Chains A and B, each alone.
Chain A
Amino acid sequence: MSDDGGLWLLAIGPTGAAALYWALYRFYRNTDKSHAFERETAVDAKPVTGSNDKVDKITGTRQTRIDGDNVAAYRKRVQRVE
């Protein structure tokens, strides 16, 4: 067991308490619930079109995902182009 591994373990207590609190809070108050219109609305879509252009290459990053990944955060608005 290394020193940094030990420090990481010390976070278990507060993290576990916070996770249990928020999970039960959500179960009672359901603040995260809303109409899932993305899934539950009848949508008739034509095939998606578009392009992919390779513009860069990354080597040796430790990030597991792209910066600002919002592919599943449909309700987070980005710059609106008119």
Chain B
Amino acid sequence: MDSLIAASARALAAGDALGALKRVALRDDPPALALRGIAMAQLGEHPRARELLRRAARGFGAHEELARARCVVAEAEVAMAMRDFGVSPRALAAAADTLDAHADRANAMQARLIAARRLLLLGRLEAATAALAPLDARELSPSLAAVAELTAAELALRSLRIVPARSALARAHEAATRARVPALLAEVAEARAALERPAARRLIAGGEQALRLDEVAALLASDALVIDACRRGVGTGEAWRPLARRPVLFALARALAEAWPGDVDRETLIAVAFNTRRPDETHRARLRVEIGRLRALVAAQAGIEASARGFALRPRDARDVVVLAPPIDGEQASLVALLSDGAAWSTSALALALGASQRTVQRALADLETGGRVRSIGRARAQRWLAPPLAGFTTILLLPAALPIE
């Protein structure tokens, strides 16, 4: 709006962040602060960018709520790139409403897209789906549309809806091509490659078979009785029982399924379920109780019959029994498989699901975090663990759409 702001914005639009900075480096009026913030963000100086954008937002007057809202959106995006989720989502929602009220649809959509991505990264998948639903990709600029479709694809993949995920990725690819942003195209390619990688193993008599995500989804949709050691659950199609909080029942189910159609002797069952090698009468009594619970749980799909030496699984209607396991063995692989549902897990919930001690789980998580294969939010007791996003889009800043100048 004034000459150096216009010159600086011109440099920024041409991709010359340093040139933009040079022109307004010494100025502290709100439009200059906003431009400095955006230039800093594009140079990867996120903490500084955030501070500048925050000061810019505070500096704009009562007449300039549109400019202020744009700064809030830019700041939220920088915060997300920093993986800082401590900011209040309310300010972002209010900014989106303000932008809508001023007919700035593009930036209002961007604000809502940031809110949806934030929920996704926090593992709040239902809320993220609800936030994403009203966004119409056709109204978005190509780069925003690509990010929206990537977000939709990620949400679909987390709940193993492979067909919608594939079509969202196809649309993301198309939008990224139109946007001509190489980094976005790379994200899409990476997400598509994730679909082709082995996601689980099917344990079969005397061996195993690697499965892609779509094959897992097909298996889960079939009428086979699936004992899933990735997600820790048992079920057939729609009838799905999560057993992450009931490790004893899951261990029994898995042992029975692996032996199917044979039976498993009591000592072995006691060993896997109660982690003991010297069973006594109390263990036998507990085993009967737990088998009774499991029997009730899977009654619709299978019976559990007592045999001379133990128990055997008897699926109804001549169903197949399938055991799914994480793509590789080990504590870490099991953790990654559990987190692949995209939800936020506490350390104690993970320890419970895996039947391991919290200390063991913490050690494994720390190793995985160093390798970038899991991430955490929150601290101390509020700490939660999440799988990294399939698409790394969170680090791509689309800030130029939020330029705070007219």
A, B: real partners: no
> Which residues of B approach A to under 8 Å, CB–CB?
none
- A interface residue numbers (CB < 8 A to B): none
